[in-house]
Amino acid sequence: MSRRSRDANLAEKAKSLLLGRLAGQIDHSPHFLCPEGFKHEKNESKVKSAVPACKRIYDSIQKVFSNESSSLILTGIRGIGKSYLIDKVLKRLKDERRQFRLVRLNGCIQSDEVVAKVEIDRQLNEYTNSHPLIIILDEFENFATDKQHLLYNLFDSSTSFNMYGSAVFTIGITTRMNVIELLEKRVRSRFSHEQVHLERDIDNKGFLNKWNDAVKKSFTYGFVREYLQDLYYQQVDIREIVTFSDCCLRLMGYREFFDEDLLREVCSIYTLNSQNCLLQDLTTLELSILIAADRIYSLFVGEPFTFEMVFNEYKKFFSKHSSLEMFAKSVVLKSYEKLFDLEILTIADGSTVNNVPKEYHPMKLTVPHEDIERVVADLIDCPTEVKQWVNSLPTQ
């Protein structure tokens, strides 16, 4: 085997290893998010509220070991590391050799109470002892629907003690801040009213320090910075950073390090403005219809329009410019329907389309005028008349 191909094989192996590691981390946010053993180290904590939150949960859980049932709700936006935080606390409890039973439910999977109860039974059957019980309810808001028998039973200390033969500590995890308002009165009064909220507050410099030199260099590229900045301002999902790294690794090919080309490619995938993509793929006819619809929509601000109005506008323009080819009404209607199919046009809010011929369905436009203007200006094979039509002001 030549040296080159052996190197390639090694690189491939290394890549698999890294990908595997990333894959393992997606379900529990990456290690740099939360401190080990809750110690606040300068460069490690990215979620500032994580340390006190960990402590509060840990302290709260202690009650269950002194045979006192209690409950807690953990809130925070998606991807901030709520489940991960819980895992940390549980791991610490295990390290301390505390004895407990654990049941995990997910509101999206155990979607009704009967299923949830069956699942609790199944998970409890794995234990033969009657140690204190910790129940974790992910997507908690889905349990707070209908009769809320399950929550009532869990929160009510005497009932839960009878049911499970030990003290029960219930942790609800949810993205909804107002979840307590969803609880019924009788359930709410039994809830321990302990709510822990995770807030995100990333320290950018510390984040960068974690990366090795090659990766560090990639952050000097303007477009990567721009992408990360956008991400930081707009989204707060740590998952995206993980998938971004995953995508970088996968697209690496046989490169040794992250380089500019690679990052440019990945960034272009991640920052793809898909809104314009749809418009770019339209035919001249479809664009003409869109422009006609846009003119009517902006003329009668926000009022719904019908196909007949759009066709009328289209006809008016095309009969003025004989050099352009005008299409039959039935063909125009088909193209109009394609726009509807692509959800560029949608049925106007609050109107029904039962018993209305399709030519008269009240529609509204979902793309802003500026987008249409930009896309038409960029098109190469669009007739000049149509290009001017976009910019001319609509009149009655």
Partner 1 sequence: MDKHLSEDLTVCGREPQIKTLKSLLRRDIACCSNVFIFGSPGSGKTYTLDKFFNHYKIRRLLINCIELYNSRLIYEFIISTLTDTEKVSVKNENEFIHKLQTSLSDKEEAIYFVFDKADRLRSLEPRVLLNFIKLRELAECNISCVFVTQKLWQEFQTDLGLPRPILIRFPIYTKFELLAIMTEDVPDKCSPALYKTYCSLLFNIFHKACNNLMELRHQAVLNFPKFYQPILDGEATENQVGKLWKNVQGHLKEALRTLYLREISSSKWQRLQEHCLAEGKEVKIQSSKQSSSRVNAELPLFSKYLLIAAFIASHNSAKTDGRLFQKKSAKISKKRQLVGEKKKNERNSTWLLGPKTFTLNRLLDIFTFIVEENLESINLNTSIFNQITSLVSMGLLCQTNASDCIDNPRYKCLVNLSFLEGISKSIDFEVKKYLLDFIEIN
Contacting residues toward partner 1, per CB under 8 A: 16, 19-20, 22-23, 26-27, 77-79, 106-112, 115, 118-119, 139, 142, 175, 235, 237, 239-240, 242-243, 246-247, 250-253, 269-270, 272, 274-275, 277-278, 280-285, 306, 308-309, 312, 325, 327-328, 330-331, 334-335, 338, 341-343, 355-357, 359-360, 381, 396
Nearest distance from C-beta of residue 74 to partner 1, angstroms:
16
Nearest distance from C-beta of residue 371 to partner 1, angstroms:
12
Q: How wide is the angle at C-alpha 209 spanned by C-alphas 208 and 211, nearest 5°? A: 75
Q: Which is nearer to partner 1, 153 or 335 (CB)?
A: 335
CA 278, CA 287: separation in Å to the nearest integer? 11
DSSP calls for 52-117: HHHHHHHHHHHHHHTT--EEEEEE--TTSSHHHHHHHHHHHHHHTT---EEEEEETTTS-SHHHHH
Q: Which is nearer to partner 1, 190 or 295 (CB)?
A: 295
Nearest distance from C-beta of residue 62 to partner 1, angstroms:
29
- Cβ pair 314, 288 in contact under 8 A: yes
Report residue 315 CA to chain centroid gap. 43
| Angstrom distances, CA of residue 57 to CA of 40, 196, 278 | 16, 8, 48
Say how many Å lie between the first and final Cα of the chain, rounded.
78
Q: Which is nearer to partner 1, 68 or 359 (CB)?
A: 359
| Angstrom distances, CA of residue 263 to CA of 141, 149, 205 | 39, 52, 20
Taking alpha carbons only, the member of 262, 270, 201 closest to residue 241 is 270
Q: Which is nearer to partner 1, 220 or 322 (CB)?
A: 322
- 133-138 and 363-365 strand pairing: unpaired
Nearest distance from C-beta of residue 280 to partner 1, angstroms:
7
Q: Which is nearer to partner 1, 69 or 106 (CB)?
A: 106
Q: Which is nearer to partner 1, 60 or 174 (CB)?
A: 174
CA 284, CA 261: separation in Å to the nearest integer? 34
If one counts every other C-beta atom within 10 angstroms of the C-beta of residue 364, the result is 16
Q: Which is nearer to partner 1, 268 or 388 (CB)?
A: 268
Q: Which is nearer to partner 1, 163 or 324 (CB)?
A: 324
Q: Which is nearer to partner 1, 41 or 261 (CB)?
A: 261
Nearest distance from C-beta of residue 77 to partner 1, angstroms:
7
Nearest distance from C-beta of residue 259 to partner 1, angstroms:
15
Taking alpha carbons only, the member of 23, 50, 320, 304 closest to residue 197 is 50
DSSP calls for 340-395: HHTTSEEEPTT---TT--GGG--EEE-S-HHHHHHHHHH-SSS-HHHHHHHHSPP-
Nearest distance from C-beta of residue 176 to partner 1, angstroms:
10
Nearest distance from C-beta of residue 123 to partner 1, angstroms:
11
Q: Which is nearer to partner 1, 165 or 362 (CB)?
A: 362
- Cβ pair 33, 53 in contact under 8 A: no
Instruction: List, in order, residues 6 or more apart from 210 with CB less than 8 Å away.
Output: 32, 43
Nearest distance from C-beta of residue 137 to partner 1, angstroms:
14
- Cβ pair 247, 264 in contact under 8 A: no
Nearest distance from C-beta of residue 191 to partner 1, angstroms:
23
